[in-house]
Amino acid sequence: MPKSASDIEALIRALEGLYGKPIWVSHGPPLEELISCILSQHTSDKNSHRAYQSLRQAFPTWESILDAPASEVADTIRHGGLANQKAPRIQAVLRAIQERSPDFEMTFLEQMETEEARQFLMSLPGIGPKCAAIVLCFSLGRNVIPVDTHVFRVSWRLGLISQSLGEAKAHDALQQQVPDEIIYSFHVCLIRHGRMICKAPKPRCEQCPIQRHCDYFNETIRGETR
């Protein structure tokens, strides 16, 4: 059933009671977060972190990444997987940013309204709504919800979005529903909940503190026991 803003606030407060209230801390400059996001695609956090560290050790400046052959860049990021696809994408993104800001500083994003900044990021080669949202949220502290597999799964099980919507379109759908003041907590709590309890393919509903808010539990699990 449809959830009101107060319903969403109630379920987030319940999740904060389980996982603690997350405190926002910047992950660093926007460009660093953007490159990290590219490296994180289709791999684990551990592997993407190793790939990023290897990249920056081999190429201490952004210019040196652009000057290097794509094959050499790819060799440094093998830990993150899909290196042959990610290396030219990183170079293309750096090239596009250099055209806007020769020193690679992205402080101009701070002067933009959130939607304008989002559109700029999504205009970069290969950058979709998830990466754009990650940069806006974790680097700039904007009230934007990055939708990963956990956020998407928990959201559709709760009944906030349709499963058929897909992750890309879920960003806008969730953004319209979640009150600004709890957006960061919503994102972090749903990731933690997706990892710990609301797992795929089988959620641990018996341990869940937000059963009464959950369409999946009320329609599927409870329905099976009636």
Of 110, 139, 168, which one is at a domain's C-terminal end?
Answer: 139
130, 168: one domain? no
Q: Rounded mean pLDDT of the chain?
A: 94
192, 124: one domain? no
The 3 state secondary structure assigned to 38-96 is HHHCCCCHHHHHHHHHHHHHHCCCHHHHHHCCHHHHHHHCHHHCCHHHHHHHHHHHHHH
Of 139, 155, 179, which one is at a domain's C-terminal end?
Answer: 139
Quote the pTM value: 0.92
Distance CA 172, CA 66 (A): 33
Q: Provide the number of structural domains found in the chain.
A: 2
**Residue at token pair 């609301």:** 198
Of 87, 116, 139, which one is at a domain's C-terminal end?
Answer: 139
Is residue 122 within 8 Å of residue 172, measured between CB atoms? no
| Mean predicted confidence (pLDDT) in 146-157 | 97
190, 214: one domain? yes
- Look up the CATH number of the domain holding residue 42: 1.10.340.30
13, 57: one domain? no
| Mean predicted confidence (pLDDT) in 99-116 | 96
Range of the domain at 12: 5-22+146-225
Is the per-residue pLDDT at 2 higher than 80?
no
Is the per-residue pLDDT at 60 higher than 70?
yes
18, 37: one domain? no
Is the per-residue pLDDT at 226 higher than 70?
no
Q: Report the candidate in 170, 116, 160, 173 with the shortest Cα–Cα distance to residue 142.
A: 116
- Look up the CATH number of the domain holding residue 170: 1.10.1670.10
